[in-house]
Structure 1
Amino acid sequence: MSSAKAGFFDGIADKWDGWDDLEALGRKLDAGLAQMGVGPEETIVDVGCGTGNLTQALLRRLGPRGRVVAVDLSPRMIEVARGKVADERVTWHVADARRLPLGSDSFDRVVCYSVWPHFDDVAETGAELARVLRSNGSLHVWHLIGRARVNEIHASAGPAVHNDILVPAADTAEVLARLGFEVTQTIDTDTHYLVSATKA
């Protein structure tokens, strides 16, 4: 992601949580993570963690030995998230998803919640996510609203993100397959978007 995008998200970080019903969102995130089969001892990367709403949901799924690494390009988003989440199972990084400060073959799962269309090069980003995943690790590209609504929001949000288009799930699946992932699930409806894949 570009510095312009980082600045855009810095500028809206303090408003972000006011645009959602966080209790209802939390229930949806909890249900989705249960369907994904997130286990209590997993190590998980939350890419594009924003204000930490998915981070909180992941922590509710994990036991004492589970770990989350939360990453965002926006320093202010990370600051807001850290203010909400005081838990020793989380580490925070301000970083570009194309250059994660993480070891190779280190994580059980990567979740990209409400962030995928903001990546300037999804193939390059996907390759980096594959690098940090263990063999048989899972990757999820996830939105809790439909693709058309995502694109409508971005089109009206300002020049930094107005070209950040969420493509059909089949296209995302094709990108991941070319990177060597085995795509295990695609959902692309008016209310939900999910592409799940496993690293070979």
Structure 2
Amino acid sequence: MVYQPVDGGGKGGGVALDLSFEMLKRAKEKHASANITYVQAAAEQLPFKPGKFNRVICFACFPHFDNKPVAVTEIARTLTQDGILVIAHAASRGKINVMHTSIGGVLSQDVIPTNAEMHYLLEQSGFSKIHISDETDFYLVLAEKEMNN
């Protein structure tokens, strides 16, 4: 996940978060010159203060959250009022789900919820203006944290 802090000051800074130390190590090597802070943590227990970020981008990671409702609630907690959550994949929901279930093992449970389930999950965590686009070559969710939530 990538977070854009409120106090980023237009410097292009951000926070990259992953549960895997190895994935963070690879990201840091790939983006060594970027103004990025790397944090190892689970999406369900984010080590950030409430309202710390303007945007949270979950690229190719949402299916892997162990407890999606808790993760989405934690993301909402760390967003500013009217902060934006982006969930994105470079393939459709169907392709991602088929790929994960066909791999089997631990990944077989790592699926993207249906549009109705995703909408409900986001609403329950305090998001509104939810837009879900599921196309052949991408999956995209945009959601805004409701005011006073």
Fold conserved between structures, TM > 0.5: yes
Question: Which residue of 2 is the match for residue 40 of structure 1?
Answer: none
Q: Does the 8 Å contact 2:119/2:130 carry over to 1?
A: no
Aligned to 1:184: 130
1:102 offset after TM fit, Å? Answer: 1.4
The letter of the residue matching 2:64 is: H
Is the partner of 2:58 in helix, strand or coil?
A: strand
Size of the aligned set, in residue pairs, is 143
Q: What one-letter code is carried by the residue in structure 2 that aligns with 1:174?
A: Y
What SS class does the counterpart of residue 37 from structure 2 fall into? strand
Give the percent of matched residue pairs that are identical in Structure 1 and Structure 2.
33
CA distance in 1, matches of 2:12, 2:44: 24
Bigger relative CO (Cα 8 Å, ≥ 6 apart): 2
Q: Which residue of 1 aligns with 2:17?
A: 71
Residue aligning to 2:107: 161
1:189 maps to amino acid: E
Structure-to-structure mapping, 1:1-200, within 5 angstroms: 46=2, 65-87=11-33, 89-200=35-146
Task: State the Cα deviation string for residues 17-43 of structure 1 (Å, max 9, x = none).
Answer: xxxxxxxxxxxxxxxxxxxxxxxxxxx
Q: Distance in 2 between matches of 1:155 and 1:92?
A: 30
Q: Which runs of 5+ in 1 are unaligned?
A: 1-44, 48-57
Shift of 1:174: 1.4
Deviations 1:44-76 (A, max 9, x none): x617xxxxxxxxxx9xxx996232100001111
Conserved in 2, the CA contact under 8 Å of 1:170 and 1:186? no
Greater strand proportion? 2
TM-score scaled by structure 2?
0.87
Q: Distance in 1 between matches of 2:82 and 2:103?
A: 37
Which structure 2 segments of 5+ residues have no match? Answer: none
Superposed CA RMSD in Å reads 2.0
Q: Cα distance, 1:148 vs. partner?
A: 1.3
| 8 A contact 2:51–2:79 mirrored in 1 | yes
User: Does the 8 Å contact 1:177/1:183 carry over to 2?
Assistant: no
AA partner of residue 105 (structure 2): P
Amino acid at match of 1:99: Q
**CA gap 1:120/1:183 in 2 versus in 1, 3 angstroms:** farther
